[in-house]
């Protein structure tokens, strides 16, 4: 006789309950970076919209910022660490190949016996995490999931690299995602284009670890390739997201794309024909590009400044190295 296995009871949906944020403690203006790359404050402002970026002091690690953001999100949700069932960390800068930053933080935060793993999807990582959290909750594997996007990119910056270093900042953003009878996280639209897998890369990432010692890796990119892909591809995928959630651009209150370049943000607003009253995240001007931390940091700022409020329809979308992308429409807590 065929044996059938008892499935876990499933849950109708999930919602973001709270957010947390930590930015690097140092404010670094363009002028501090331009000399070794033969650039200027004016060029960086015009081509990227960045005025300053936040970076962390030498003694502050990526996990320290992640912990700070996580503490805020857990207490904002009115939960105790023991109430968390899963921790997902999106990062490319935890300086250990193994074990994961998620396991490290589970210990530091006192979460107990939890599902814990990292997500390596670069700037799309936080939105991958929200998609995973939604899936874990719907399938009955977890009721409260802590999603963190955290990067200390300045650890992987070459001051003489002209392609990306001046864009990068440090920080961490976190969200608690919980079970909800009413779905407040729409379908995640996610994927990747591996034909450009090395368009954003750590130098040395093409060297096999088994070949022995490799130099300390630093980030570099083919800026124009990423720029073109980010604009055309993201606009198409965000339209798909709206369609899958049964919404139109007129329904959107808040737009939080990955903070890679202000010109990309502007171009996306343009392509999507978002109405003028949509609040658009422009955190890049003061924080820089913080990869996996960028979407939650930008969203946290809008909420903290009162530009986004409870019940607003927010479009979250991350894209970058991989080239990976992910996004979802959420109703704000």
Ligand X SMILES: CC(C)(COP(=O)(O)OP(=O)(O)OC[C@H]1O[C@@H](n2cnc3c(N)ncnc32)[C@H](O)[C@@H]1OP(=O)(O)O)[C@@H](O)C(=O)NCCC(=O)NCCS
Q: Per CB under 6 A, which of residues 171..230 are in contact with ligand X?
A: 200, 221, 223-224, 226-227, 230
How far apart are the C-alpha atoms of 251 and 253, rounded to whole Å?
7
Q: Per CB under 6 A, which of residues 65..94 are in contact with ligand X?
A: none
Residue 246 DSSP class = T
154 near ligand X (CB under 6 A): no
- x/- mask, ligand X, residues 285-314, rule CB under 6 A, reads ----x-------------------------
Q: Which two tokens stand for residue 97?
A: 């190949």
Nearer residue to ligand X within complex by CB, 184 or 258: 258
Nearer residue to ligand X within complex by CB, 167 or 185: 167
Q: Which of residues 18, 30, 48, 290 is near ligand X by CB under 6 A?
A: 48
Q: Which two tokens stand for residue 164?
A: 């990306």
Q: Which two tokens stand for residue 30?
A: 């363009």
Q: Which of residues 166, 190, 317, 325 is near ligand X by CB under 6 A?
A: 166
Q: Per CB under 6 A, which of residues 231..260 are in contact with ligand X?
A: 260
Helix (H) / strand (E) containing 269: helix 262-272
**Residues that are catalytic:** 123, 258, 289
Q: Residue 20: which residues within 8 A CB-CB, separation 6 or more?
A: 68, 69, 70, 71, 72, 73, 74, 76, 172, 173, 174, 175, 300
Nearer residue to ligand X within complex by CB, 10 or 160: 160
**Minimum distance of ligand X from residue 158's CB (angstroms):** 12
**Minimum distance of ligand X from residue 212's CB (angstroms):** 29
162 near ligand X (CB under 6 A): yes
87: nearest Cα among 79, 95, 54, 170: 79
How far apart are the C-alpha atoms of 123 and 287, rounded to whole Å?
14
> How many residues bind to ligand X according to rule CB under 6 A?
20
How far apart are the C-alpha atoms of 114 and 121, rounded to whole Å?
22
Residue 207 DSSP class = S
43 near ligand X (CB under 6 A): yes
Q: Which two tokens stand for residue 78?
A: 């009115």
| DSSP annotation string for 128-157 | HHHHHHHHHHHTTS-SEEEEEEEEEGGGG-
Residue, CB closest to ligand X: 223
- Chain contacts with ligand X (rule: CB under 6 A): 37, 39, 43, 47-48, 123, 162-163, 166, 200, 221, 223-224, 226-227, 230, 260-261, 289, 320
């Amino acid at each position: 006789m065929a044996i059938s296995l008892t499935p876990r009871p499933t849950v109708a949906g999930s919602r973001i309950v709270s957010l947390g944020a930590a930015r690097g403690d140092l404010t670094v203006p363009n002028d501090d970076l331009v000399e070794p790359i033969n650039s200027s404050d004016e060029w960086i402002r015009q081509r990227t919209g960045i005025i300053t970026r936040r970076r962390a002091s030498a003694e502050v690690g990526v996990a320290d910022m992640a912990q700070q953001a996580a503490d805020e999100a857990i207490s904002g949700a009115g939960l105790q660490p023991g109430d968390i069932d899963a921790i997902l960390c999106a990062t490319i800068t935890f300086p250990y190949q193994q074990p994961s930053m998620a396991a490290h933080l589970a210990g530091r935060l006192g979460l107990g016996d939890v599902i814990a793993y990292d997500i390596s999807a670069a700037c799309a990582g936080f939105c991958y995490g929200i998609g995973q959290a939604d899936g874990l909750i719907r399938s009955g594997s977890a009721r409260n999931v802590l999603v963190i996007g955290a990067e200390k990119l300045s650890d992987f910056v070459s001051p003489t690299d002209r392609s990306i270093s001046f864009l990068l900042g440090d920080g961490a953003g976190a969200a608690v995602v919980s079970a909800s009878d009413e779905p407040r996280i729409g379908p995640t639209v996610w994927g990747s284009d591996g034909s450009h897998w090395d368009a954003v890369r750590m130098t040395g990432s093409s060297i096999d670890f088994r070949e022995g010692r490799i130099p300390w890796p630093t980030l570099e990119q083919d800026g124009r390739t990423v720029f073109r892909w980010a604009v055309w591809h993201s606009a198409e995928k965000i339209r798909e997201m709206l369609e899958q959630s049964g919404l139109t651009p007129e329904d959107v209150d808040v737009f939080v794309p990955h903070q890679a370049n202000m010109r990309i943000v502007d171009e996306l607003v343009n392509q999507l024909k978002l109405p003028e009253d949509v609040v658009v995240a422009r955190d890049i001007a003061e924080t820089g590009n913080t990869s996996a931390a960028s979407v939650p940091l930008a969203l946290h700022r809008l909420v903290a400044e009162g530009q986004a409020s409870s019940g607003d329809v927010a479009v979250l979308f991350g894209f970058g190295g991989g080239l990976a992308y992910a996004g979802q429409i959420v109703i704000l807590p």
